[in-house]
């Protein structure tokens, strides 16, 4: 079955996953991580995309992006991918691809899933056994949102501002969200939607969103499609 085109709609947050080919490392030292983040920030600005959140792992990364145009995310990701591979290959004397095919993405319902998606990203290093708690991983946006550092690359989403009337209140509320963790079902829903390219939201959200794109945004119901009569 042919793969569906990626779903990109202006004004909505998009959760992105890009993996290294054959699970190989995409970074080998801190300078590589800094280069990758700077390329993300530079091209987000260039293509009018808000960088809401990120986490860099050893062999993949996650981004939460909100584009102003439908072309913003694809153009940003293409530019980052090409320039970083050139940097990485030149530095380490290698050739060929670094990525496992094209990036995966899902469009996220802001009110219901955006903060959940941020928590999912923050907890990725914990689930991988890299750290005991999210704040110990220096290569994510988590420490910015709990007030430990200030990351100029980030554009906090509106739902984060709604967590409190002061920076301290917002940071404390977000800290509690991450400490509360997520159920296996919620983790699975976010992972499945991103890997398959389905919109992540409730029925009303997906129904309204479907009006804005001809591309199918939810899984097809099981069973064979109804037959149609040939044209006369």
Q: 203 CB contacts (<8 Å, ≥6 apart)?
A: none
Q: Name residue 17's beta-bridge partners.
A: 62, 104
Query: Long-range contact list for 150-156, CB < 8 A, 24+ apart?
Result: 153/37, 153/40, 153/41, 153/44, 153/51, 154/51, 154/52, 154/53, 155/50, 155/51, 155/52, 155/66, 156/52
Determine if the pTM surpasses 0.75.
yes
Distances (CA, A) of 1 to 4, 27, 82: 9, 33, 28
Per-residue pLDDT, 1: 41
Per-residue pLDDT, 219: 86
Phi then psi for residue 61, to 5 deg, are -140, 160
- Cα separation, 102 vs 78, in Å, equals 9
Residue 87 DSSP class: H
Residue 76: half-sphere exposure toward Cβ, Cα within 13 Å = 31
**Tens digits of per-residue pLDDT, 168-181?**
999 999 999 999 99
**Tens digits of per-residue pLDDT, 60-74?**
999 999 999 999 999
Average pLDDT over all residues of the chain: 92
- Three-class secondary structure of residue 104 per DSSP: strand
Estimate to the nearest angstrom the gap between the alpha carbon of 182 and the chain centroid.
Answer: 17
- Cα separation, 22 vs 59, in Å, equals 9
The residue among 135, 157, 160 whose CA lies nearest residue 148 is: 135
**Tens digits of per-residue pLDDT, 117-165?**
999 999 999 999 999 999 999 999 999 999 999 999 999 999 999 999 9
Q: Structure tokens of 37?
A: 């983040």
The residue among 141, 192, 171, 139 whose CA lies nearest residue 30 is: 139
């Amino acid at each position: 079955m042919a793969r569906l085109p990626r779903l990109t709609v202006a004004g909505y947050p998009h959760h992105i996953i890009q993996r290294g080919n054959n699970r190989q490392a995409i970074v080998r030292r801190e300078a590589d991580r800094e280069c990758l983040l700077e390329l993300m920030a530079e091209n987000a600005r260039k293509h009018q995309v808000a960088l809401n959140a990120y986490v860099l792992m050893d062999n993949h990364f996650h981004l939460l992006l909100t584009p102003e145009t439908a072309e913003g995310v694809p153009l940003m990701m293409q530019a980052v991918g090409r320039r970083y591979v050139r940097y990485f290959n030149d530095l380490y004397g290698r050739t060929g691809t670094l990525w496992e095919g094209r990036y995966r993405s899902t469009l996220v319902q802001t009110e219901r899933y955006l903060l959940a998606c941020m928590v999912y990203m923050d907890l990725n290093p914990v689930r991988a056994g890299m750290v005991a708690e999210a704040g110990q991983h220096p290569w994510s946006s988590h420490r910015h949102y709990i007030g430990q550092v200030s990351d100029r690359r980030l554009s906090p989403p509106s739902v984060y501002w709604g967590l409190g009337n002061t920076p301290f209140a917002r940071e404390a509320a977000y800290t509690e969200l991450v400490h509360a963790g997520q159920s296996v079902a919620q983790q699975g829903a976010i992972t499945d939607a991103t890997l398959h390219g389905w919109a992540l939201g409730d029925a009303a959200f997906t129904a309204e969103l479907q009006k804005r794109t001809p591309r199918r945004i939810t899984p097809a119901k099981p069973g064979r499609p109804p037959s149609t009569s040939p044209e006369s």
